[in-house]
Amino acid sequence: MAPVSSWVQERHFPDLHIPISVDSSFPVHPEGPIKAREGDTLYLSNLDDIIGARVFTPTVYFYSAGENSFDDVVGILKDALAKVLVPYYPFSGRLRETGNGKLEVFFGPNQGTFMVTAHTELSLNQLGDLHVPNPAWSNLVYKFPDEGDYKVIDMPLLIAQVTRFSCGGFSLGLRMCHCICDGLGAMQFLGAWASTAKMGSLVVDPSPCWDRELFAPRDPPMVKYPHIEFMKIDDSSNLTNSLWEVKPLQKCYWLSREFQAHLKSVARPADSLGCTTFDAMAAHVWRSWVKALDVKPLDFGLRLTFSANARSKLIKQPLKEGFYGNVVCVACVTSTVSGLVNGSLQDVTRLVREARLGISEEYLRSTIDRVAVDRPKKLEFGGKLTITQWTRFSMYESSDFGWGRAIYVGPIDLTPTPQVCVILPEGGANSSGAMVVCICLPEAAAHRFKNLLCLMDT
């Protein structure tokens, strides 16, 4: 068997500045009549407008130079977006607060999505490794000059920046409001946009379905679980301070398919239920991260949270095909520091598995009712690591707008919220089934984390 260390490779990226010149900006409206008139509103469920969804998700796509001129690329993207916005018309609206603190989509004059064209004197090969996210790419997604952190009210719900590089290659930087769709819903929308661009005429399969009213709270609300994922924890540990006092480093690690299989066999709990690759990976990353950070005190309670897709759990009231709203629950694992660092990897994997399997249709309904009864007002970071898995998204399959698949599709900068870990699929045409784990660490903890990740100390 090959040494485990050869199955885990740190991927480095350069610290650089990408100078950007914005050439034009313009709204993109639906090209035809839509199912909403000025003054209309659309209901958002408590899964859509929960505090964790009140964000824009920035992603970037890189493409090599092709047969299309840059002006042609921009024209194709703009025209296809205008076509897709007819069935996906909620993206052309805006968010506003209602009297009870909830959000809704409303339609007014001069709205639409927003597109920017830009250029840089750099070439793509000057960016270094294009297969792992780099915070230096932040200029490739557009932010308004006066935009505050986490602003979603009265913002375009889709913002696209197309940037031309000196080599003829280009990037597509997107910001999509999470209140409108979850990851799978975003893939559905982006797939329709890409297919429409390739065909030159509208392609939507399946047809989009709004139906957010299906997730209205019960009357009266019935909160049947403690929902520790929402509880505020006073962080008496050194965890949060070690990550927020000094800006941490974003680290990326390539993990081969062989390593994933080996980890799963090592982490498998000693019972007949087995575990998934995600169970094993989440447990191993969480445990390694806490060990590397040397979190104290040992009796402090920690949380691991991750989003669980609940679509397959909806038995009593299944969703219609084409639903693209948020259908995720926040699964939560708890442990003391001592339980993590002194307990076995198998025990931690079992905890992750239990949290994942605990997501049910009733848990989803209880989440909706919990938010109705006591709406969280801000994100809580006390003692928490949040893992987001992108490996099941059709990111590369939905990236071909007519000029081939993107070289890279994914996030950019994790450091603004350093208690987040993202697991990405390996990009490229010859993917071997590897994954990339991206996480934030203080420089002093990075070497220790790499050794732990390689299973040098289980």
Is the pLDDT reported for residue 458 higher than 60?
no
Place of tokens 């800006």: 247
* Structure tokens, 264: 């799963």
Dist CA 21 CA 214 (whole Å): 45
Average pLDDT, the chain: 94
- Of 40-44, 425-429, 443-447, the one with minimum mean pLDDT is 425-429
Decide whether 4-11+224-392+414-453 matches 21-215 in CATH topology: yes
C-alpha to C-alpha distance for 69 and 90, rounded to whole angstroms: 31
CA distance 439 to 60: 18
- List, in order, residues 6 or more apart from 444 with CB less than 8 Å away: none
Domain 21-215: CATH superfamily, name plus number = Chloramphenicol acetyltransferase-like domain (3.30.559.10)
Q: Token pair 């299989």 is at which residue?
A: 261
In angstroms, rounded to a whole number, what is the distance separating the alpha carbons of residues 5 and 7? Answer: 5
pLDDT digits (tens, 9 = 90+) for 405-437: 999 999 999 988 889 999 999 976 667 889 999
SS3 letters for 132-157?
Answer: CCCHHHHHHCCCCCCCCCCCCECCCC
3-class DSSP state of 336: strand
- As a whole-number percent, the residues of the chain with pLDDT over 90 amount to 86
Q: Residue 236 pLDDT more than 60?
A: yes
327: which 2 tokens?
């259908």
To 5 degrees, how large is the angle CA 76–CA 78–CA 80?
Answer: 65
Q: What is the pLDDT of residues 266-323, one digit of tens each?
A: 999 999 889 999 999 999 999 999 999 999 999 999 999 999 999 999 999 899 999 9
pLDDT-wise least confident of 240-249, 311-320, 325-334? 240-249
83-114 tens-digit pLDDT: 999 999 999 999 999 988 899 999 999 999 99
CATH 3.30.559.10 fits 4-11+224-392+414-453, yes or no: yes
Take residue 387 and report the two structure tokens written for it.
């893992």
Q: What is the pTM of this model?
A: 0.95
Q: In the chain, where are the structural domains located?
A: 4-11+224-392+414-453, 21-215
66 backbone dihedrals φ, ψ, rounded to 5°: -135, -160
In this predicted structure, the answer to whether residue 1 has a pLDDT above a threshold of 60 is no
Query: Average pLDDT in the 188-215 region?
Result: 97
